[in-house]
Amino acid sequence: MRLRTILIVIVVVLVALVATAVGVLMSIDYNQYKPLIAAQVKSATGRDLSIGGNFKLGISLSPTLAVDNVSLSNMPGGSRPVMINLNKLEVQVELIPLLSRKIKVNRVILDGADILLETDKQGKGNWVFEVPGANTTAATVTTTTTAPAPTEGGGMALPEVDTVQIRNSTVTYHDGVAGTTRTFKIDKLDAQTTGGSLAIDLAALIGQAPLNVKGTLGAPALLAGGAPYPMDLALSSGNTTATVKGAIGDITKMQGLAVDVTAKGNSLADLSGLTGAPLPKLGPYNFTGSFVNIEGGYKINKLQFTMGGSSMTGDVSLALNGKRPKVVGNVAAARIDLKDFGVTPSSGGAGGGSSGSAAGSDGRLFPNTPLPFASLNAVDAEINFTAQQMIKAPVTMDNVKLVLSLAAGRLQIKPFTAGIAGGTLNVAATIDGGKRASSACANSAIEAKRSSAFLAIAFRQTASRRGSRPGRREDGGDGVPCRICPSTA
């Protein structure tokens, strides 16, 4: 009986304590803490917090506070004054950690949110918060070491948040470097912190295109930089799927990139809604590659790409630290059919003509279209390309090799070689974008060997004229019209 009595007393005391705590909590006017909350946010983030509605308390072992009309200011110089607008904010907080001046948030619900994520012209994101009075050294130390315990009388540390749920909201991303802006609507976003990572489940709409994302990201604290930011995501939109897996060494500067990407789908046109630009109806396609940083740019290693019946492998890089962007590529293809990339025979145009003739209606192997001399000054390039088979109907080329360099508007092809209809083609050309030539063949050498069928394709002559036929100009140098050279007119 004595033990039972003791237990009853303990239960009664606990109930009384809980009832008292509930009574105390219910009697508090939480609106009086608005200035304190705003001051704590300002101290932790350097941003202004505005709370327009009144707090509403929901009593449980983890009390819930709900409030309407909440906003957080944007970074200085941002495209708009406010970074986040919330119609409704609900926060569920644990009681015990508050005794040690820690805020442990079980769940945050954002409903009707309008969120702006943007970078400035230097690429700095508005999600990087600058604490007033903190210098660069102090910021570096706190991102790489354990945060110091708050001193007596000091403010609380930033809250630990387990779960964030966003419903019926809009997110806008503005790229200050590129000057582009995209907006998408969030039907559902669940983000839960587990084991130092952030598990996410997103259902959104970009334009009219659905987007679903599941996987893990680095913990929110890593967005401030100072440590690698990991990611492992699976994305889908209609019949299109993709994966992104790897890490970014410093996400604030987009340096230390080491990310593997895969993507496949039925048609590029299915991505038009996601990209915001019309894409051609080409496919099915499959892409894999490893994205890394190089000095002043980016590179795709282990590239594997298929489009329809065409396939290629290699690596491609883009450097942005010179006077012009520079593309360097080493690509090998088993088979390339240009119709897989939208180049198809058409009456009176490129690809037209009868069997045994060249692709263009004027009998040229390559299209009779003016060369874009002005664009030669827009980019530099070094390309090494090989293909076991390359098709531009009705012509099939074997053992294709192209070595191309473009620097300061000067294009050099040394060489372009291919086997056609049992013969061989060897082209070397130099085109200077700063000097408008009357013909692309004016500074080129063309050699065709050992096939009357090839000569019937490459030159306007009958198959009975056999042997080798060197060409130096548009008319082949001897009155035999060249059907290989593109036009420059």
433-487: pLDDT as tens digits:
766 544 444 455 555 555 555 555 554 444 334 444 444 444 344 333 444 444 4
Domain stop point among 194, 209, 244: 194
Average pLDDT, the chain: 78
Looking at the 3D structure of the chain, how many domains does it have?
A: 2
In a domain, 444, yes or no: yes
pLDDT for residue 419 is more than 80: yes
In a domain, 57, yes or no: yes
Q: What is the mean pLDDT of residues 289-307?
A: 95
In a domain, 468, yes or no: yes
Please give the Cα distance from 472 to 489 (Å, whole number).
Answer: 18
pLDDT of residue 106: 86
pLDDT for residue 176 is more than 80: yes
Percent of the chain with pLDDT over 90: 41
Q: What tokens does 55 get?
A: 């707090």
pLDDT for residue 281 is more than 70: yes
pTM: 0.70
Please give the Cα distance from 223 to 381 (Å, whole number).
Answer: 35
In a domain, 472, yes or no: yes
Distance of CA 116 to the CA centre of its chain: 18
In a domain, 4, yes or no: no
pLDDT for residue 401 is more than 80: yes
pLDDT of residue 205: 92
pLDDT for residue 147 is more than 60: no
pLDDT for residue 349 is more than 60: no
pLDDT for residue 77 is more than 70: yes
Range name among 54-63, 217-226, 229-238, 288-297 with the lowest pLDDT average: 54-63
Query: What torsion, rounded to 10 degrees, do the Cα atoms 186, 183, 207, 290 define?
Result: -90
In a domain, 305, yes or no: no
Q: What is the mean pLDDT of residues 393-404?
A: 92
pLDDT of residue 4: 58
Q: What is the mean pLDDT of residues 311-332?
A: 95
Q: What is the mean pLDDT of residues 333-352?
A: 73
Residue with tokens 């948040």: 161
How do residues 81-110 score in pLDDT, each as one tens digit? 999 999 999 988 776 665 566 667 888 998
Domain stop point among 140, 168, 194: 194
Q: What is the mean pLDDT of residues 105-125?
A: 90
More confident of the two residues 351 and 446: 446
In a domain, 52, yes or no: yes
pLDDT for residue 377 is more than 50: yes
Q: What is the mean pLDDT of residues 35-44?
A: 88
pLDDT for residue 168 is more than 60: yes
Q: Which domain holds residue 456?
A: 330-489
pLDDT for residue 347 is more than 70: no
pLDDT of residue 448: 54
More confident of the two residues 110 and 131: 110
pLDDT of residue 100: 62
Please give the Cα distance from 267 to 239 (Å, whole number).
Answer: 9
Distance of CA 205 to the CA centre of its chain: 17
Domain stop point among 194, 217, 248: 194
pLDDT for residue 287 is more than 70: yes
In a domain, 271, yes or no: no
SS (H, E, C) the chain: CHHHHHHHHHHHHHHHHHHHHHHHHHHCCHHHHHHHHHHHHHHHHCCCEEECCCCEEECCCCCEEEEEEEEEECCCCCCCCEEEEEEEEEEEECCHHHHHCCCEEEEEEEEEEEEEEEECCCCCECCCCCCCCCCHHHHHHHHHCCCCCCCCCCCCCCCEEEEEEEEEEEEEEEECCCCEEEEEEEEEEEEEEECCEEEEEEEEEECCEEEEEEEEEECHHHHHCCCCEEEEEEEEECCEEEEEEEEEEECCCCEEEEEEEEEEECCHHHHHHHHCCCCCCCCCEEEEEEEEEECCEEEEEEEEEEECCEEEEEEEEEECCCCCCEEEEEEEEEEEEHHHHCCCCCCCCCCCCCCCCCCCCCCCCCCCCCCCHHHHHCCEEEEEEEEEEEEECCEEEEEEEEEEEEECCEEEEEEEEEEECCEEEEEEEEEECCCCCCCHHHHEEEEEECCHHHHHHHECCCCCCCCCEEECCCCCCCCCCECCCCCCC
More confident of the two residues 188 and 356: 188
